[in-house]
Structure 1
Amino acid sequence: MIPVNTSIVSGVALSEINGEIKMLLMKRVKGGFWCHVAGTIKDGETGINAIVREFQEETQIEVENLYNAQFLEQFYEPSANVIELIPVFVVMCPPEQAVVLNEEHTDYKWCSLEEALELAPFPNQHAVFKHVWSYFVEKKANALYRVEVR
């Protein structure tokens, strides 16, 4: 039997950078790969609380415009023998959003979809980025996906 872990959230930040919509990718210290924001839900937190906190901790982005991306990342983690099931959020940032990384990352880049697909190594990341691009960049974000930040 393989257990399912549902204690992680992830999020993709979007901002207009130099006149074009871009998504934020960061280079992780652990593993050295490019990724979006993610982290573990702490005791007493909702998924919404956790993603707002993770954005603050990892990037110092203050989340105001939060959306449920209507997408679940899912993959098998062999080292833990667990299936990860991770709700994805989208953070709509103001133009030219500043980023201040914490110690978990060494670099960041605002990317087009093509750049993100080139940098990110995992097929599941590609699926997340394509979904977010389709439903939040190519189309206007559906108001029904909006999540109230408390």
Structure 2
Amino acid sequence: MIPINTSVVSGVVLSMFSNKYRMLLLKRTGEGYWCHVAGKIENGELAWEAMVRELREETNIEAKDLYNGEYQQQFYDPSHNQIMLITCFAIYCEPEQIVHLNEEHTDYKWCDLEEAKALVPFPNQKKLYDHIWLNFVESRPPDHLKINVC
């Protein structure tokens, strides 16, 4: 039996630059790979609250609009013999958003879809980015997916 871990959330951050959407990628300290914002849900937090907190901690960005991304990243983590099931969000922020990284990341880039997919190492990330781009950039997301952040 393989346990399922649902303690992590992630979010793809979107901002307009010169009237075109870009997604934010962060370069992790240590591992050195490119990724989107992610982190653990703390005791007493709802998943979306953890996402907003992680976004603020990792980038100093406030979510303008937060959406249920309607996507679950899943993969096997051999170091802990568990299946990771990660709820993903789409996050819109202010146009030409400025990023202030914390110690978890060494660099960042605002990318179009193809640039982002070329940078990330995991196939599941590429699928997530395709999904977010199709449903949150190329089309307007339905109102019922919006999460009211107070």
TM-score (norm 2): 0.98
Q: How does 1:35-50 map to 2 (within 5 A)?
A: 35-50=35-50
What stretches of structure 1 of length at least 5 have no aligned partner?
Answer: none
Identify which range, 124-133 or 137-146, moves more after superposition: 137-146
Q: SS at the partner of 2:9?
A: strand
Q: Which runs of 4+ in 1 moved over 4 A?
A: none
Q: CA deviation at 1:14?
A: 0.4
Q: Distance in 2 between matches of 1:37 and 1:82?
A: 21
The alignment's C-alpha RMSD in Å is 0.7
Aligned length: 150
Per the alignment, residue 111 of structure 2 pairs with 111
TM-score (ref. length: structure 1):
0.98
Q: Deviations over 1:76-121 (max 9, x none)?
A: 0000100000000011112101110000000000000000000001
Structure 2 unmatched ranges of 5 or more: none
Distance in structure 1 (CA, Å) of the matches to 2:101 and 2:123: 25
Q: What are the equivalent positions in structure 2 for 1:94-133 lying under 5 Å apart?
A: 94-133=94-133
Matches within 5 A, 1:46-61: 46-61=46-61
Output aligned runs, 1:1-150, within 5 Å. 1-150=1-150
Identity of aligned residues (%): 54
Deviations 1:7-57 (A, max 9, x none): 000000000012210000000013100000000000011101100000000
Contact in 1 for aligned 2:64/2:94 (Cα 8 Å): no
Q: Which amino acid aligns with 2:30?
A: K
